[in-house]
Amino acid sequence: MTFEYEVGDVVKLKKQHPCGSHEWEILRVGADFRLKCQGCEHQIMIARKLVEKNTKDLRKKA
């Protein structure tokens, strides 16, 4: 299953963040993604390959 990732979309990953949230907002798309946790608003940079591998669901921005 392939997803089209865009800035503003919310991605649900397999593993949860220590705060308990599984959902992350995409802030930057490229070779690396910048994601913001929807639970505690912590931001991370993560390789595109890891995001694609661990994505369970993608919710498009409204």
Domain ranges of the chain: 10-59
**Residues 38 and 25 sit within 8 Å (Cβ to Cβ):** yes
Residues 62, 52: Cα–Cα separation, whole Å:
22
Q: What is the mean pLDDT of residues 40-55?
A: 96
Render 40-60 in DSSP notation, one character per residue.
T--EEEEEHHHHHHHEEEEE-
Structure tokens that stand for 35 in this block: 């994601």
pLDDT of residue 28 exceeding 90, the answer is: yes
Interatomic CA distance for residues 59 and 48, integer angstroms: 17
pLDDT band at 44 (very low <50, low <70, confident <90, very high): very high
Tokens of 62: 């409204």
pTM over 0.85: yes
Spatial separation of the C-alpha atoms in residues 19 and 16, rounded to whole Å: 8
